[in-house]
Structures are given as structure tokens and as C-alpha cells.
């Protein structure tokens, strides 16, 4: 059934064909671009994804925790020995003079306690390790001082009991350096350095 222009009209009840739908471009033609706008069906780039939730947290090396724990223990031991030295100096000052060396050691040990605590906190926070390394190094020097002092101050005179006592004191003094040496090695590790650099670079 055709109209006056020769176009075929659909029969009554017949659905329109699968031709071009109103408002839709044909399959074989590119989409039309409206003036001043984007193509209707032009392919748009996919979004790059939702923004992240910030940088991933930096994992703290276990050596930092281990070094800090050893330093805190060493600080407690040093504080106890410093209190003992202080009490001994107070009692000895009323009897004799020339205790300048003893007071110098007492001040050095007290300073070591403070540096160990502050340096360990800085190390755990990842802000710095310089103070921690200085503190542990100072503890090693103090331990060596006591070992030399015990070895030179006590004259055994060939008496076995005194020699054994002197040697025991030297061993104790050297044992005083075990914890700070281990903490110093752990704190000076490359993994600790990379962690601190990463924390400071954020």
C-alpha cells in the first residue's frame, strides 16, 4: 500500500520496521555533532578510577622496635647504677675529697639515661636516629671506662680471691655494654635508615 509519493505504508496493526528510529542516527552514519557540543555517542575516555585513600602506611622494621626496647632496658639499668654511684659519692664526700672523677661519671651516666630515652622515642617515631646512636655509643664508652677502672684500681697483690673479684667486676662492666652494642648495630642498619628517610620524605 503506497501513498501519493510512492512510499509504502504499513498495513493496519503492523509494527513499524526495524529501520531508523526517531531521534537516532542510522547504523551506517557517524553521530552528528551538535553546534558547540560533544558528539552524542562519541566514545568518552573511561574515568581513571576513584581517588585513592592516601599513601599506604610505611611498615616499620622490627629492628627499630628491638633497638628501642634494648635502649629502654639499658636506660633503666644505667639509672639504677647512677643512683648507687650518687649515694656513694654523697657518703664519701663527707670523708674525703678528690671525687671529681666520680661526679663526672655520674653526670655522664645520667646524661646517657636521658639520651637513651629521648633517642628511642625519636627512633620509634621515625624522625631521627642520630641521638639514639650517640646515646648507645656513650653507654659503650661508659662500660669500657668501668672495665678499665676496675682492672687498674684493684690491686690483687697475688691474692686469688681479690683477683677473682676484680675479674668479676671487669666481666660485669663489659656485660654492661652488651645491650647498647646490640642496640647500636640494630639502629645503624640500612633498613632503619630507609624507614626514616621514607618518613621524612612524606
The rounded distance, in Å, linking the Cα atoms of 30 and 95 is 108
Q: Identify the pLDDT of residue 74.
A: 96
DSSP tag of 8 = B
Q: Identify the pLDDT of residue 49.
A: 47
Residue 132 buriedness (CB in 10 A; 0-12 / 13-18 / 19+): buried
For the chain, the domains span 62-200
Between the CA of residue 109 and those of 51, 167, 183, what are the distances in Å?
52, 22, 17
Q: Identify the pLDDT of residue 139.
A: 96
Contacts of 116 (CB under 8 A, 6+ apart): 71, 72, 74, 75, 78, 132, 135, 136, 139
Cα dihedral sign for 98, 99, 101, 103?
Answer: negative
Residue 165 buriedness (CB in 10 A; 0-12 / 13-18 / 19+): middle
Question: How many Cβ atoms are within 10 Å of 14's Cβ, its own excluded?
Answer: 8
* pTM, entire model: 0.66
Question: How many Cβ atoms are within 10 Å of 156's Cβ, its own excluded?
Answer: 13
List beta partners, residue 8. 2
Positions of the chain with pLDDT lower than 70, given as ranges: 1-57, 93-98, 154-160, 202
Q: Identify the pLDDT of residue 1.
A: 54
Q: Identify the pLDDT of residue 131.
A: 96
**Which three cell numbers, joined as nine digits, stand for 17?**
520496521
**Which three cell numbers, joined as nine digits, stand for 53?**
585513600
Q: Identify the pLDDT of residue 36.
A: 56
Q: Identify the pLDDT of residue 2.
A: 52
Q: At 2, phi and psi to the nearest 5?
A: -120, 155
Are 138 and 116 contacting, i.e. CB atoms less than 8 angstroms apart?
Answer: no
The rounded distance, in Å, linking the Cα atoms of 158 and 197 is 56
Amino acid at each position: 500500500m503506497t501513498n501519493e509519493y510512492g512510499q509504502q505504508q504499513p498495513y493496519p496493526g503492523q509494527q513499524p520496521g526495524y529501520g531508523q528510529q526517531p531521534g537516532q542516527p542510522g547504523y551506517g552514519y557517524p553521530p552528528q555533532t551538535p553546534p558547540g557540543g560533544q558528539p552524542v555517542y562519541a566514545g568518552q575516555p573511561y574515568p581513571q578510577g576513584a581517588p585513592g585513600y592516601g599513601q599506604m602506611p610505611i611498615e616499620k622494621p622490627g629492628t627499630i622496635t628491638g633497638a628501642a626496647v634494648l635502649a629502654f632496658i639499658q636506660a633503666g639499668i644505667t639509672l639504677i647504677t647512677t643512683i648507687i654511684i650518687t649515694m656513694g659519692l654523697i657518703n664519701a664526700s663527707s670523708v674525703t675529697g678528690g671525687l671529681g672523677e666520680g661526679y663526672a661519671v655520674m653526670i655522664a651516666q645520667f646524661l646517657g639515661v636521658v639520651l637513651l630515652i629521648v633517642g628511642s622515642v625519636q627512633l620509634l617515631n621515625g624522625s631521627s636516629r642520630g641521638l639514639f646512636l650517640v646515646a648507645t655509643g656513650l653507654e659503650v664508652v661508659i662500660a669500657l671506662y668501668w672495665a678499665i677502672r676496675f682492672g687498674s684500681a684493684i690491686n690483687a697483690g697475688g691474692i686469688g680471691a681479690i683477683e677473682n673479684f676484680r675479674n668479676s667486676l671487669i666481666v660485669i662492666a663489659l656485660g654492661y655494654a652488651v645491650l647498647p652494642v646490640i642496640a647500636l648495630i640494630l639502629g645503624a642498619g640500612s633498613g632503619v635508615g630507609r624507614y626514616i628517610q621514607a618518613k621524612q620524605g612524606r
